[in-house]
Chain A
Amino acid sequence: MAKITYIEHSGAEHVIDVKNGLSVMEGAVKNNIPGIDADCGGACACATCHVYVDEAWRSKTGTPSAMEESMLDFAENVADNSRLSCQIKVSDELDGLIVRMPESQH
Protein backbone atom coordinates (compact mmCIF):
# COMPACT_ATOMS: atom_id res chain seq x y z
CA MET A 1 0.00 0.00 0.00
CA ALA A 2 1.23 3.50 -0.79
CA LYS A 3 -0.28 6.88 -0.07
CA ILE A 4 -0.17 8.80 -3.33
CA THR A 5 -0.91 12.48 -3.78
CA TYR A 6 -2.40 13.35 -7.16
CA ILE A 7 -2.42 17.07 -7.91
CA GLU A 8 -4.66 18.31 -10.70
CA HIS A 9 -3.48 21.09 -12.99
CA SER A 10 -5.88 23.39 -11.12
CA GLY A 11 -4.02 22.63 -7.88
CA ALA A 12 -6.73 20.39 -6.42
CA GLU A 13 -5.12 17.60 -4.39
CA HIS A 14 -6.30 14.03 -3.94
CA VAL A 15 -4.58 11.76 -1.44
CA ILE A 16 -5.35 8.11 -2.11
CA ASP A 17 -4.20 4.79 -0.64
CA VAL A 18 -3.26 2.65 -3.62
CA LYS A 19 -2.75 -1.12 -3.36
CA ASN A 20 0.62 -2.61 -4.26
CA GLY A 21 0.68 -4.06 -7.75
CA LEU A 22 -1.73 -1.53 -9.22
CA SER A 23 -0.31 1.22 -11.40
CA VAL A 24 -0.30 4.89 -10.41
CA MET A 25 -2.78 5.38 -13.28
CA GLU A 26 -5.17 2.73 -11.88
CA GLY A 27 -5.07 4.41 -8.48
CA ALA A 28 -6.40 7.59 -10.08
CA VAL A 29 -8.92 6.09 -12.49
CA LYS A 30 -10.50 3.72 -9.98
CA ASN A 31 -11.05 6.67 -7.64
CA ASN A 32 -12.51 8.85 -10.40
CA ILE A 33 -9.78 11.48 -10.08
CA PRO A 34 -10.02 13.93 -12.97
CA GLY A 35 -6.99 14.64 -15.13
CA ILE A 36 -5.79 11.13 -15.93
CA ASP A 37 -7.81 9.72 -18.80
CA ALA A 38 -5.98 6.45 -19.53
CA ASP A 39 -8.03 5.69 -22.61
CA CYS A 40 -6.27 2.39 -23.35
CA GLY A 41 -6.65 1.08 -19.80
CA GLY A 42 -2.93 0.70 -19.21
CA ALA A 43 -1.67 -0.91 -22.41
CA CYS A 44 0.90 1.87 -22.98
CA ALA A 45 -0.93 2.59 -26.22
CA CYS A 46 -2.34 6.09 -25.87
CA ALA A 47 -0.29 8.48 -23.67
CA THR A 48 -3.39 9.91 -21.95
CA CYS A 49 -2.16 9.14 -18.42
CA HIS A 50 0.77 11.58 -18.54
CA VAL A 51 1.96 12.88 -15.14
CA TYR A 52 4.90 14.83 -13.76
CA VAL A 53 6.68 12.90 -11.03
CA ASP A 54 7.74 15.06 -8.08
CA GLU A 55 11.51 15.59 -8.26
CA ALA A 56 12.12 13.85 -4.93
CA TRP A 57 10.51 10.67 -6.30
CA ARG A 58 12.15 10.38 -9.70
CA SER A 59 14.76 7.79 -8.75
CA LYS A 60 12.20 5.58 -6.98
CA THR A 61 9.79 5.55 -9.92
CA GLY A 62 12.54 4.39 -12.28
CA THR A 63 13.12 5.30 -15.90
CA PRO A 64 10.72 4.94 -18.81
CA SER A 65 11.08 2.06 -21.28
CA ALA A 66 11.91 2.84 -24.91
CA MET A 67 8.24 2.29 -25.74
CA GLU A 68 7.09 4.72 -23.09
CA GLU A 69 9.69 7.28 -24.11
CA SER A 70 8.53 7.18 -27.73
CA MET A 71 4.94 7.73 -26.64
CA LEU A 72 5.92 10.58 -24.32
CA ASP A 73 7.92 12.25 -27.07
CA PHE A 74 4.66 13.22 -28.71
CA ALA A 75 2.57 14.04 -25.66
CA GLU A 76 1.78 17.71 -24.93
CA ASN A 77 3.94 19.77 -22.53
CA VAL A 78 6.47 17.06 -21.81
CA ALA A 79 9.17 17.74 -19.18
CA ASP A 80 12.16 15.80 -17.84
CA ASN A 81 9.99 14.33 -15.07
CA SER A 82 7.16 13.28 -17.41
CA ARG A 83 5.98 9.67 -17.12
CA LEU A 84 3.04 7.61 -18.26
CA SER A 85 1.40 6.71 -14.96
CA CYS A 86 0.22 3.33 -16.27
CA GLN A 87 3.87 2.29 -16.37
CA ILE A 88 4.62 3.06 -12.70
CA LYS A 89 3.80 0.07 -10.48
CA VAL A 90 2.83 0.87 -6.90
CA SER A 91 4.82 -0.69 -4.03
CA ASP A 92 5.59 0.19 -0.40
CA GLU A 93 8.64 2.00 -1.79
CA LEU A 94 6.34 4.62 -3.32
CA ASP A 95 4.52 5.49 -0.07
CA GLY A 96 4.27 9.29 -0.16
CA LEU A 97 4.62 9.66 -3.94
CA ILE A 98 3.48 12.96 -5.43
CA VAL A 99 2.44 13.29 -9.08
CA ARG A 100 1.10 16.34 -10.88
CA MET A 101 -1.11 16.38 -13.94
CA PRO A 102 -0.74 18.30 -17.18
CA GLU A 103 -3.39 20.75 -18.32
CA SER A 104 -4.86 18.26 -20.76
CA GLN A 105 -4.37 14.66 -21.88
CA HIS A 106 -5.78 15.26 -25.36
Chain B
Amino acid sequence: MNDGQAGVVIAGAGHAGGTAAALLRQFGYKAPITLVGDEPIAPYQRPPLSKAWLKGEADADSLMLKPPSFYAEAGIGLELGVSVVSIDREGRSVELSDGRRLPWESLIIATGARARSLPVPGADLAGVMTLRSAADAETLKAALGPGRRLAVIGGGYIGLEAAASARALGAEAVVIEREPRILARVACQVLSDFFTDYHRARGVVFEVDAVVEALAGEHGQVTGVRLGDGRVIACDAVLIGVGAPPNDELALAAGLECAGGIVVDERARTSDPRIFAIGDVSHRPLPLYERMFRLESVANALEQARQAAAAITGRPAPAREVTWNWSDQYDLKYQFAGLPFDADTVLVRGDPAKPKFAVFHLKGDLIQAVEAVNAPAEFMGGRQLIAQRRPISRARLADMSISMKEVAA
Protein backbone atom coordinates (compact mmCIF):
# COMPACT_ATOMS: atom_id res chain seq x y z
CA MET B 1 0.00 0.00 0.00
CA ASN B 2 2.17 2.85 -1.28
CA ASP B 3 4.34 4.11 1.56
CA GLY B 4 2.11 2.24 4.01
CA GLN B 5 2.28 4.97 6.63
CA ALA B 6 -0.90 6.98 6.40
CA GLY B 7 -3.02 3.84 6.37
CA VAL B 8 -6.79 3.65 6.52
CA VAL B 9 -9.10 6.01 8.35
CA ILE B 10 -12.63 4.75 8.91
CA ALA B 11 -15.19 7.47 9.62
CA GLY B 12 -17.90 5.78 11.67
CA ALA B 13 -17.46 2.99 14.22
CA GLY B 14 -20.70 1.08 13.72
CA HIS B 15 -21.24 -2.44 12.46
CA ALA B 16 -19.83 -1.60 9.02
CA GLY B 17 -16.82 0.41 10.19
CA GLY B 18 -15.90 -1.98 12.98
CA THR B 19 -16.12 -4.97 10.67
CA ALA B 20 -14.03 -3.29 7.97
CA ALA B 21 -11.26 -2.56 10.50
CA ALA B 22 -11.18 -6.18 11.72
CA LEU B 23 -11.28 -7.56 8.19
CA LEU B 24 -8.39 -5.36 7.03
CA ARG B 25 -6.25 -6.98 9.71
CA GLN B 26 -7.61 -10.44 8.85
CA PHE B 27 -6.64 -9.77 5.24
CA GLY B 28 -3.09 -8.91 6.28
CA TYR B 29 -3.20 -5.12 6.08
CA LYS B 30 -0.14 -3.81 7.94
CA ALA B 31 -0.36 -0.01 7.89
CA PRO B 32 -2.19 2.00 10.58
CA ILE B 33 -5.96 1.74 10.87
CA THR B 34 -7.93 4.35 12.78
CA LEU B 35 -11.61 3.96 13.57
CA VAL B 36 -13.39 7.20 14.41
CA GLY B 37 -16.80 7.03 16.10
CA ASP B 38 -18.99 9.65 17.75
CA GLU B 39 -20.44 7.24 20.31
CA PRO B 40 -18.43 6.68 23.49
CA ILE B 41 -18.24 2.90 23.03
CA ALA B 42 -16.46 0.47 20.70
CA PRO B 43 -18.39 -1.02 17.73
CA TYR B 44 -21.42 -3.06 18.72
CA GLN B 45 -24.38 -4.83 17.12
CA ARG B 46 -27.49 -2.70 16.77
CA PRO B 47 -30.11 -5.32 15.81
CA PRO B 48 -30.53 -6.70 19.37
CA LEU B 49 -31.30 -3.19 20.70
CA SER B 50 -34.94 -3.56 19.66
CA LYS B 51 -35.03 -7.32 20.22
CA ALA B 52 -33.13 -9.57 22.68
CA TRP B 53 -31.32 -6.74 24.47
CA LEU B 54 -34.49 -4.71 25.00
CA LYS B 55 -36.22 -7.73 26.52
CA GLY B 56 -33.25 -8.31 28.83
CA GLU B 57 -32.17 -11.51 27.09
CA ALA B 58 -28.75 -10.21 26.01
CA ASP B 59 -26.26 -8.13 28.01
CA ALA B 60 -24.14 -5.19 26.86
CA ASP B 61 -21.01 -7.36 26.57
CA SER B 62 -22.66 -9.73 24.13
CA LEU B 63 -23.47 -6.79 21.85
CA MET B 64 -19.84 -5.81 21.35
CA LEU B 65 -18.45 -6.80 17.94
CA LYS B 66 -15.06 -7.52 19.53
CA PRO B 67 -13.84 -7.41 23.13
CA PRO B 68 -12.34 -4.00 24.10
CA SER B 69 -8.84 -5.53 24.23
CA PHE B 70 -9.07 -6.55 20.56
CA TYR B 71 -8.39 -3.10 19.12
CA ALA B 72 -5.09 -2.54 20.92
CA GLU B 73 -3.99 -6.11 20.18
CA ALA B 74 -4.79 -5.72 16.50
CA GLY B 75 -3.18 -2.30 16.30
CA ILE B 76 -6.42 -0.53 15.44
CA GLY B 77 -6.65 3.02 16.75
CA LEU B 78 -10.04 3.74 18.34
CA GLU B 79 -11.00 7.39 18.44
CA LEU B 80 -14.30 7.43 20.31
CA GLY B 81 -16.51 10.34 21.20
CA VAL B 82 -15.24 12.31 18.22
CA SER B 83 -16.38 12.53 14.63
CA VAL B 84 -14.93 13.40 11.27
CA VAL B 85 -16.07 16.92 10.38
CA SER B 86 -14.45 17.34 6.98
CA ILE B 87 -12.53 15.49 4.31
CA ASP B 88 -9.57 16.99 2.51
CA ARG B 89 -9.33 14.92 -0.66
CA GLU B 90 -6.43 16.83 -2.11
CA GLY B 91 -4.31 16.59 1.05
CA ARG B 92 -5.65 13.13 1.95
CA SER B 93 -6.63 13.88 5.50
CA VAL B 94 -9.71 14.26 7.64
CA GLU B 95 -10.39 16.83 10.32
CA LEU B 96 -11.88 15.62 13.61
CA SER B 97 -14.39 17.41 15.81
CA ASP B 98 -11.65 18.02 18.40
CA GLY B 99 -9.53 19.84 15.82
CA ARG B 100 -7.03 17.07 15.13
CA ARG B 101 -6.19 16.00 11.63
CA LEU B 102 -5.59 12.39 10.51
CA PRO B 103 -3.85 11.48 7.25
CA TRP B 104 -5.08 8.58 5.13
CA GLU B 105 -4.09 6.53 2.16
CA SER B 106 -7.57 5.07 1.87
CA LEU B 107 -10.65 6.48 3.57
CA ILE B 108 -13.77 4.48 4.41
CA ILE B 109 -16.95 6.43 5.14
CA ALA B 110 -19.22 4.35 7.36
CA THR B 111 -21.26 7.08 8.99
CA GLY B 112 -24.55 5.20 8.76
CA ALA B 113 -27.95 6.76 9.01
CA ARG B 114 -29.78 8.65 11.73
CA ALA B 115 -33.29 8.28 13.03
CA ARG B 116 -35.62 10.72 11.27
CA SER B 117 -37.28 13.14 13.65
CA LEU B 118 -40.94 14.07 13.48
CA PRO B 119 -41.62 17.70 12.59
CA VAL B 120 -44.63 18.16 14.87
CA PRO B 121 -45.25 20.32 17.94
CA GLY B 122 -44.20 18.56 21.13
CA ALA B 123 -41.47 16.45 19.51
CA ASP B 124 -38.98 17.89 22.00
CA LEU B 125 -40.93 16.77 25.10
CA ALA B 126 -39.24 14.42 27.56
CA GLY B 127 -40.22 10.83 26.89
CA VAL B 128 -40.12 11.25 23.11
CA MET B 129 -37.36 9.11 21.69
CA THR B 130 -35.87 7.38 18.69
CA LEU B 131 -33.95 4.11 18.62
CA ARG B 132 -30.61 3.96 16.91
CA SER B 133 -27.85 3.75 19.51
CA ALA B 134 -27.20 1.79 22.69
CA ALA B 135 -27.85 5.01 24.63
CA ASP B 136 -31.24 5.35 22.90
CA ALA B 137 -32.03 1.77 23.83
CA GLU B 138 -31.19 2.40 27.50
CA THR B 139 -33.63 5.32 27.50
CA LEU B 140 -36.34 3.23 25.88
CA LYS B 141 -35.82 0.29 28.23
CA ALA B 142 -36.16 2.58 31.24
CA ALA B 143 -39.54 3.73 29.89
CA LEU B 144 -40.94 0.21 29.57
CA GLY B 145 -42.40 -2.01 32.27
CA PRO B 146 -45.70 -3.26 33.69
CA GLY B 147 -48.43 -0.66 33.40
CA ARG B 148 -46.39 1.75 31.28
CA ARG B 149 -47.87 2.87 27.94
CA LEU B 150 -45.69 3.14 24.85
CA ALA B 151 -46.91 4.85 21.69
CA VAL B 152 -44.91 3.85 18.63
CA ILE B 153 -45.08 6.20 15.67
CA GLY B 154 -44.26 4.26 12.50
CA GLY B 155 -45.19 0.65 11.80
CA GLY B 156 -41.86 -0.50 10.41
CA TYR B 157 -39.52 -3.19 11.76
CA ILE B 158 -38.08 -1.11 14.58
CA GLY B 159 -41.52 -0.01 15.73
CA LEU B 160 -42.95 -3.53 15.62
CA GLU B 161 -39.97 -5.09 17.35
CA ALA B 162 -40.13 -2.44 20.05
CA ALA B 163 -43.89 -3.03 20.44
CA ALA B 164 -43.32 -6.79 20.79
CA SER B 165 -40.55 -6.19 23.35
CA ALA B 166 -42.76 -3.69 25.21
CA ARG B 167 -45.49 -6.33 25.50
CA ALA B 168 -42.96 -8.89 26.71
CA LEU B 169 -41.99 -6.43 29.46
CA GLY B 170 -45.63 -5.94 30.46
CA ALA B 171 -46.12 -2.50 28.91
CA GLU B 172 -49.05 -1.40 26.75
CA ALA B 173 -48.20 -0.64 23.12
CA VAL B 174 -50.03 1.36 20.46
CA VAL B 175 -48.58 1.51 16.96
CA ILE B 176 -49.53 4.57 14.91
CA GLU B 177 -49.00 4.30 11.15
CA ARG B 178 -49.57 6.91 8.45
CA GLU B 179 -50.14 4.37 5.66
CA PRO B 180 -53.23 2.12 5.42
CA ARG B 181 -51.12 -0.84 6.56
CA ILE B 182 -48.04 -1.50 8.67
CA LEU B 183 -44.74 -2.42 6.95
CA ALA B 184 -46.11 -0.71 3.83
CA ARG B 185 -42.67 0.34 2.64
CA VAL B 186 -40.88 -2.95 3.24
CA ALA B 187 -43.25 -5.94 3.07
CA CYS B 188 -46.25 -7.15 1.08
CA GLN B 189 -49.91 -7.10 2.09
CA VAL B 190 -49.90 -10.75 3.19
CA LEU B 191 -47.13 -10.02 5.70
CA SER B 192 -48.75 -6.78 6.86
CA ASP B 193 -51.99 -8.64 7.58
CA PHE B 194 -50.17 -11.47 9.28
CA PHE B 195 -48.12 -9.22 11.58
CA THR B 196 -51.13 -7.05 12.37
CA ASP B 197 -53.12 -10.08 13.53
CA TYR B 198 -50.19 -11.57 15.42
CA HIS B 199 -49.50 -8.35 17.33
CA ARG B 200 -53.19 -7.70 17.99
CA ALA B 201 -53.59 -11.15 19.51
CA ARG B 202 -50.79 -10.17 21.89
CA GLY B 203 -52.38 -6.93 22.94
CA VAL B 204 -50.86 -4.37 20.58
CA VAL B 205 -53.31 -1.72 19.36
CA PHE B 206 -52.97 -0.32 15.82
CA GLU B 207 -53.99 3.05 14.45
CA VAL B 208 -53.44 3.00 10.69
CA ASP B 209 -54.18 5.76 8.20
CA ALA B 210 -53.40 7.99 11.14
CA VAL B 211 -51.83 11.44 10.91
CA VAL B 212 -49.90 12.63 13.94
CA GLU B 213 -50.79 16.29 14.53
CA ALA B 214 -48.87 16.90 17.71
CA LEU B 215 -47.45 15.33 20.83
CA ALA B 216 -49.21 16.49 23.96
CA GLY B 217 -47.43 16.99 27.27
CA GLU B 218 -47.61 18.22 30.82
CA HIS B 219 -44.69 19.81 32.70
CA GLY B 220 -42.41 19.05 29.80
CA GLN B 221 -43.23 15.32 29.77
CA VAL B 222 -45.10 13.67 26.92
CA THR B 223 -48.58 12.42 27.86
CA GLY B 224 -50.19 11.62 24.53
CA VAL B 225 -50.21 11.62 20.74
CA ARG B 226 -52.82 13.84 19.09
CA LEU B 227 -54.11 12.41 15.83
CA GLY B 228 -55.61 14.18 12.82
CA ASP B 229 -59.13 13.11 13.81
CA GLY B 230 -58.76 14.92 17.14
CA ARG B 231 -58.29 11.87 19.35
CA VAL B 232 -55.44 11.79 21.83
CA ILE B 233 -53.70 8.44 22.43
CA ALA B 234 -52.56 8.56 26.06
CA CYS B 235 -49.02 7.33 26.73
CA ASP B 236 -45.99 7.70 28.99
CA ALA B 237 -43.43 7.44 26.21
CA VAL B 238 -43.29 7.86 22.43
CA LEU B 239 -40.92 5.98 20.15
CA ILE B 240 -40.54 7.51 16.71
CA GLY B 241 -39.56 4.98 14.05
CA VAL B 242 -40.20 6.67 10.73
CA GLY B 243 -37.07 5.91 8.78
CA ALA B 244 -33.41 6.78 8.77
CA PRO B 245 -31.86 9.21 6.26
CA PRO B 246 -28.16 8.67 5.42
CA ASN B 247 -25.40 10.67 7.09
CA ASP B 248 -23.89 11.67 3.74
CA GLU B 249 -23.20 15.35 4.49
CA LEU B 250 -19.45 14.77 4.82
CA ALA B 251 -19.30 13.22 1.38
CA LEU B 252 -21.49 15.91 -0.18
CA ALA B 253 -19.29 18.64 1.26
CA ALA B 254 -16.24 16.85 -0.16
CA GLY B 255 -17.80 16.78 -3.61
CA LEU B 256 -18.35 13.02 -3.76
CA GLU B 257 -21.29 11.90 -5.86
CA CYS B 258 -24.39 11.34 -3.72
CA ALA B 259 -27.95 10.36 -4.58
CA GLY B 260 -29.76 9.80 -1.32
CA GLY B 261 -26.64 8.13 0.02
CA ILE B 262 -23.06 8.08 -1.24
CA VAL B 263 -22.87 6.53 -4.69
CA VAL B 264 -20.50 3.54 -4.80
CA ASP B 265 -19.58 0.80 -7.22
CA GLU B 266 -19.53 -2.97 -6.68
CA ARG B 267 -16.34 -2.67 -4.68
CA ALA B 268 -17.77 0.04 -2.42
CA ARG B 269 -15.68 2.74 -4.14
CA THR B 270 -17.09 6.26 -4.26
CA SER B 271 -16.54 8.63 -7.19
CA ASP B 272 -13.05 9.12 -5.69
CA PRO B 273 -11.35 5.71 -6.00
CA ARG B 274 -9.35 6.17 -2.80
CA ILE B 275 -12.52 6.75 -0.78
CA PHE B 276 -14.98 3.97 0.04
CA ALA B 277 -18.46 4.17 1.52
CA ILE B 278 -20.08 1.19 3.21
CA GLY B 279 -23.25 0.35 5.11
CA ASP B 280 -26.44 2.38 5.51
CA VAL B 281 -24.83 5.54 4.14
CA SER B 282 -24.12 4.12 0.69
CA HIS B 283 -26.20 4.07 -2.46
CA ARG B 284 -25.02 0.92 -4.16
CA PRO B 285 -25.46 -1.18 -7.26
CA LEU B 286 -27.70 -4.23 -7.04
CA PRO B 287 -26.46 -6.21 -10.04
CA LEU B 288 -29.21 -8.83 -9.72
CA TYR B 289 -31.84 -6.16 -10.21
CA GLU B 290 -29.84 -3.90 -12.49
CA ARG B 291 -30.34 -0.80 -10.42
CA MET B 292 -28.96 1.33 -7.60
CA PHE B 293 -30.46 1.28 -4.13
CA ARG B 294 -29.72 2.19 -0.54
CA LEU B 295 -29.92 -0.87 1.69
CA GLU B 296 -30.22 -0.63 5.46
CA SER B 297 -29.17 -3.93 6.93
CA VAL B 298 -26.36 -5.68 8.74
CA ALA B 299 -25.91 -8.07 5.82
CA ASN B 300 -25.29 -5.09 3.54
CA ALA B 301 -22.88 -3.48 6.00
CA LEU B 302 -20.88 -6.71 6.18
CA GLU B 303 -20.92 -7.35 2.45
CA GLN B 304 -19.62 -3.87 1.73
CA ALA B 305 -17.05 -4.10 4.55
CA ARG B 306 -15.75 -7.23 2.79
CA GLN B 307 -15.75 -5.41 -0.57
CA ALA B 308 -13.81 -2.41 0.75
CA ALA B 309 -11.32 -4.46 2.80
CA ALA B 310 -10.70 -6.74 -0.19
CA ALA B 311 -10.19 -3.79 -2.55
CA ILE B 312 -7.80 -2.01 -0.18
CA THR B 313 -5.69 -5.15 0.35
CA GLY B 314 -5.68 -6.08 -3.33
CA ARG B 315 -7.77 -9.22 -2.90
CA PRO B 316 -10.24 -10.38 -5.52
CA ALA B 317 -13.78 -9.06 -5.11
CA PRO B 318 -15.82 -11.22 -2.74
CA ALA B 319 -18.73 -13.22 -4.15
CA ARG B 320 -21.90 -11.28 -4.90
CA GLU B 321 -24.57 -11.71 -2.27
CA VAL B 322 -28.33 -11.60 -2.25
CA THR B 323 -29.44 -8.91 0.17
CA TRP B 324 -31.22 -10.30 3.21
CA ASN B 325 -32.38 -9.36 6.67
CA TRP B 326 -34.31 -10.70 9.60
CA SER B 327 -36.62 -9.56 12.35
CA ASP B 328 -37.54 -11.26 15.63
CA GLN B 329 -40.98 -10.53 17.04
CA TYR B 330 -42.36 -12.65 19.91
CA ASP B 331 -41.55 -16.25 18.97
CA LEU B 332 -41.52 -15.51 15.23
CA LYS B 333 -38.45 -15.84 13.07
CA TYR B 334 -38.95 -13.58 10.08
CA GLN B 335 -36.26 -13.75 7.38
CA PHE B 336 -36.35 -12.09 3.99
CA ALA B 337 -34.06 -12.08 1.00
CA GLY B 338 -33.94 -10.18 -2.26
CA LEU B 339 -36.11 -7.23 -3.23
CA PRO B 340 -39.47 -7.47 -4.98
CA PHE B 341 -38.49 -5.19 -7.90
CA ASP B 342 -40.54 -5.77 -11.07
CA ALA B 343 -42.39 -8.73 -9.51
CA ASP B 344 -45.68 -9.62 -11.18
CA THR B 345 -46.95 -12.33 -8.84
CA VAL B 346 -47.11 -12.96 -5.11
CA LEU B 347 -47.14 -16.66 -4.29
CA VAL B 348 -47.78 -17.98 -0.77
CA ARG B 349 -46.28 -21.30 0.24
CA GLY B 350 -47.43 -22.75 3.58
CA ASP B 351 -50.01 -21.55 6.05
CA PRO B 352 -49.98 -18.15 7.82
CA ALA B 353 -52.31 -19.62 10.48
CA LYS B 354 -49.68 -22.17 11.59
CA PRO B 355 -47.70 -19.81 11.52
CA LYS B 356 -45.17 -21.21 9.06
CA PHE B 357 -45.21 -19.79 5.56
CA ALA B 358 -43.27 -17.91 2.94
CA VAL B 359 -44.26 -15.31 0.39
CA PHE B 360 -42.42 -15.45 -2.92
CA HIS B 361 -42.32 -12.46 -5.26
CA LEU B 362 -42.01 -13.70 -8.81
CA LYS B 363 -41.11 -12.03 -12.06
CA GLY B 364 -42.22 -14.60 -14.56
CA ASP B 365 -40.51 -17.80 -13.45
CA LEU B 366 -37.77 -16.02 -11.50
CA ILE B 367 -37.87 -15.42 -7.76
CA GLN B 368 -37.08 -11.77 -7.01
CA ALA B 369 -37.65 -11.90 -3.26
CA VAL B 370 -38.81 -14.19 -0.46
CA GLU B 371 -40.30 -13.28 2.91
CA ALA B 372 -40.38 -16.25 5.29
CA VAL B 373 -42.01 -16.62 8.70
CA ASN B 374 -40.76 -19.61 10.71
CA ALA B 375 -39.79 -21.11 7.37
CA PRO B 376 -35.97 -21.23 7.24
CA ALA B 377 -35.89 -23.73 4.39
CA GLU B 378 -37.98 -21.43 2.21
CA PHE B 379 -35.74 -18.51 3.15
CA MET B 380 -32.51 -20.37 2.42
CA GLY B 381 -33.81 -22.08 -0.72
CA GLY B 382 -35.36 -18.87 -1.95
CA ARG B 383 -32.14 -16.95 -1.39
CA GLN B 384 -30.22 -19.54 -3.39
CA LEU B 385 -32.69 -19.45 -6.27
CA ILE B 386 -32.61 -15.65 -6.33
CA ALA B 387 -28.82 -15.73 -6.58
CA GLN B 388 -28.79 -18.33 -9.33
CA ARG B 389 -31.51 -16.59 -11.40
CA ARG B 390 -32.84 -20.05 -12.09
CA PRO B 391 -36.42 -20.34 -13.35
CA ILE B 392 -38.75 -22.37 -11.12
CA SER B 393 -42.12 -24.04 -11.59
CA ARG B 394 -44.81 -22.00 -9.85
CA ALA B 395 -46.93 -25.12 -9.30
CA ARG B 396 -44.09 -26.94 -7.56
CA LEU B 397 -43.20 -23.90 -5.47
CA ALA B 398 -46.78 -23.66 -4.21
CA ASP B 399 -47.01 -27.39 -3.48
CA MET B 400 -46.12 -28.08 0.16
CA SER B 401 -45.84 -31.81 -0.52
CA ILE B 402 -42.65 -31.04 -2.46
CA SER B 403 -39.87 -30.04 -0.06
CA MET B 404 -38.08 -26.75 -0.57
CA LYS B 405 -34.89 -28.73 -1.03
CA GLU B 406 -36.47 -30.49 -4.02
CA VAL B 407 -37.90 -27.26 -5.40
CA ALA B 408 -34.44 -25.70 -5.29
CA ALA B 409 -32.67 -28.80 -6.60
Residues of A within 8 A of B65 (CB): 29
Query: Do residues B66 and A32 form an inter-chain contact, with CB atoms below 8 A?
Result: yes
Known contacts A43-B328, A74-B380: A30-B66 contact under CB 8 Å? yes
Interface string of A27-53 (1 = CB under 8 A from B): 001111010010111011111000000
Q: From B116-124, B192-200, B252-260, B318-326, give the one contacting chain A.
A: B318-326
CA distance A104 to B74 in the complex (A): 24
Known contacts A30-B70, A46-B324: A106-B45 contact under CB 8 Å? no
Question: In angstroms, how far is the closest chain B Cβ from the Cβ of A90?
Answer: 13
CA distance A101 to B108 in the complex (A): 29
Residue of chain B at shortest CB distance from A47: B380
Tell me which of A39, A45, A70 contacts B377 (CB under 8 A). A70
CA distance A29 to B326 in the complex (A): 20
Tell me which of B298, B333, B381 contacts A39 (CB under 8 A). B298
Known contacts A40-B298, A70-B380: A34-B335 contact under CB 8 Å? no
Asked if A73 is an interface residue, CB under 8 A from chain B, the answer is yes
Interface string of B373-409 (1 = CB under 8 A from A): 0001100110110000000000000000000010010
Query: Do residues A67 and B333 form an inter-chain contact, with CB atoms below 8 A?
Result: yes
Known contacts A32-B74, A34-B26: A40-B326 contact under CB 8 Å? yes
Question: In angstroms, how far is the closest chain A Cβ from the Cβ of B105?
Answer: 22
Residues of B within 8 A of A41 (CB): 45, 47-48, 298
Question: In angstroms, how far is the closest chain B Cβ from the Cβ of A41?
Answer: 5
Which of A31, A43, A73 is packed against the most chain B CB atoms within 10 Å? A43
Query: Do residues B408 and A106 form an inter-chain contact, with CB atoms below 8 A?
Result: no
Query: Do residues A71 and B380 form an inter-chain contact, with CB atoms below 8 A?
Result: yes
Interface of chain A: mostly helix, strand, loop or mixed:
loop
Known contacts A32-B22, A32-B74, A39-B302: A70-B67 contact under CB 8 Å? no
Interface of chain B: mostly helix, strand, loop or mixed:
helix
Question: In angstroms, how far is the closest chain A Cβ from the Cβ of B271?
Answer: 28
Query: Do residues B333 and A45 form an inter-chain contact, with CB atoms below 8 A?
Result: yes
The size of the chain B interface, using a CB distance under 8 A, is 32
Residues of A within 8 A of B299 (CB): 39-40, 46
Residues of B within 8 A of A22 (CB): 62
Residues of A within 8 A of B405 (CB): 73-74
Residues of A within 8 A of B321 (CB): 106
CA distance A82 to B67 in the complex (A): 27
8 Å CB contacts to A: which residues of B262-312? 298-299, 302
Question: In angstroms, how far is the closest chain B Cβ from the Cβ of A99?
Answer: 18
Question: In angstroms, how far is the closest chain B Cβ from the Cβ of A6?
Answer: 13
Asked if B226 is an interface residue, CB under 8 A from chain A, the answer is no
Asked if B25 is an interface residue, CB under 8 A from chain A, the answer is yes
Query: Do residues B380 and A73 form an inter-chain contact, with CB atoms below 8 A?
Result: yes
Known contacts A32-B22, A32-B66, A46-B324: A67-B319 contact under CB 8 Å? no
CA distance A73 to B381 in the complex (A): 9
Known contacts A45-B335, A46-B299: A71-B376 contact under CB 8 Å? yes
Known contacts A67-B333, A106-B319: A74-B45 contact under CB 8 Å? no
Interface string of B9-28 (1 = CB under 8 A from A): 00000000000001001100
Residues of A within 8 A of B26 (CB): 32, 34
Interface of B with A (CB < 8 Å)? 22, 25-26, 45, 47-48, 62, 64-67, 70, 74, 298-299, 302, 318-319, 321, 324, 326, 328, 333, 335, 376-377, 380-381, 383-384, 405, 408
Given contacts A29-B66, A45-B335, could you give 11 more A-B pairs where the C-beta distance is less than 8 Å?
A: A30-B66, A30-B70, A31-B70, A39-B299, A44-B333, A46-B299, A67-B376, A70-B376, A70-B377, A74-B377, A74-B383
Instruction: Provide 10 A-B residue pairs closer than 8 Å at the C-beta atoms, listed in order of the A residue.
Output: A26-B62, A30-B66, A30-B70, A32-B66, A39-B302, A40-B326, A43-B47, A46-B326, A70-B377, A106-B319
3 A-B pairs with least C-beta separation: A74-B380, A70-B376, A45-B326
